[in-house]
């Protein structure tokens, strides 16, 4: 008997959760136009940080200050890596022994000098590499963020446009034919707009990529290219 009661409790909980889920889905679908209007306004506000609206890949590229910073970081890192290579070669030529971790022994004067150059260069790399990496990815990062804002905003706008004529049709059907099915007809209209939203997400995403291709990773060779 105890097991039977326990089983009945689990069934009741499952049924209640299922009812709540269905209710939540219906409510979400019914108020979908309000949700989509909110989504549209939210991402429209987000896009303002990119004003004027980007029209080409070059609009996401590094500005002059960022380019100058990139050049300085590139030169600093290049020099640091070269110093490590020169110091390493010098240490090998001088026959300086190495520690178990692969670093040069500091027992001799030359060993100390070589180790100091390598340590200093590694410190420079550590202090500059993160910002350099950020600058190399910055155009792609801006492009991806703007694409997300633009695609979601336009998909929400399209979904609302779909909901309006669909809502009119559902209202006419309700008013003239099915007065007892207001919730079902509203849910039907909402479901159509939800499906439209996800469909337009794919459409606007594809159109965005076609009209404004993703910028490449920044390097010293393409820094001043015009796309």
- Token pair listed for 172: 């006419």
Does 46 fall in a domain?
yes
- Token pair listed for 17: 């959760």
What's the CA gap between 73 and 65, in Å, rounded? 12
Counting the structural domains of the chain, the total is: 1
Residue 173: which domain range? 31-211
The pLDDT tens digits of the residues spanning 92-145 come to: 888 888 888 888 888 888 888 888 999 999 999 999 999 999 999 999 999 999
Residue 14 has what pLDDT? 66
**pTM confidence score:** 0.76
Does 146 fall in a domain?
yes
Q: Specify the higher pLDDT residue, 144 or 35.
A: 144
Does 21 fall in a domain?
no
Does 100 fall in a domain?
yes
Does 158 fall in a domain?
yes
Does 221 fall in a domain?
no
Residue 47 has what pLDDT? 92
The pLDDT tens digits of the residues spanning 153-163 come to: 999 999 888 87
Does 226 fall in a domain?
no
**Looking at residues 33-49, what average pLDDT do you find?**
90
Per-position DSSP letters for 3-67, written without gaps between them: HHHHHHHHHHHHHHHHHHHHHHHHHHHHTHHHHHHHHHHHHHHHHGGGPSPP-SGGGGS--HHHH
Is pLDDT at 183 greater than 70 in this prediction? no
Over the chain, what is the mean pLDDT?
Answer: 84
Does 26 fall in a domain?
no
């Amino acid at each position: 008997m105890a097991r039977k009661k326990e089983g009945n409790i689990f069934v009741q909980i499952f049924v209640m959760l299922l009812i709540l889920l269905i209710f939540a889905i219906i409510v979400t679908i019914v108020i979908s136009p309000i949700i989509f209007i909110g989504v549209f306004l939210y991402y429209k506000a987000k896009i303002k940080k990119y004003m004027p609206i980007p029209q080409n890949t070059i609009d996401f590229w590094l500005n002059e200050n960022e380019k100058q910073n990139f050049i300085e970081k590139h030169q600093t890192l290049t020099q640091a890596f070269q110093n490590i290579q020169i110091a390493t070669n010098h240490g090998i030529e001088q026959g300086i022994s190495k520690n178990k971790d692969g670093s040069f022994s500091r027992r001799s004067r030359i060993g100390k000098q070589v180790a100091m150059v390598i340590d200093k260069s590694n410190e420079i790399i550590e202090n500059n590499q993160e910002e350099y990496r950020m600058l190399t990815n910055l155009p792609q990062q801006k492009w991806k963020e703007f694409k997300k804002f633009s695609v979601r905003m336009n998909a929400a706008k399209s979904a609302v446009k779909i909901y309006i004529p669909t809502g009119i049709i559902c209202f006419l059907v309700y008013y003239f034919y099915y007065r007892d099915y207001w919730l079902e007809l509203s849910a039907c209209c909402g479901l159509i707009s939800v499906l439209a939203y996800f469909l337009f997400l794919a459409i606007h995403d594809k159109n965005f990529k076609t009209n404004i291709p993703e910028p490449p990773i920044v390097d010293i060779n393409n820094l001043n290219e015009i796309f």
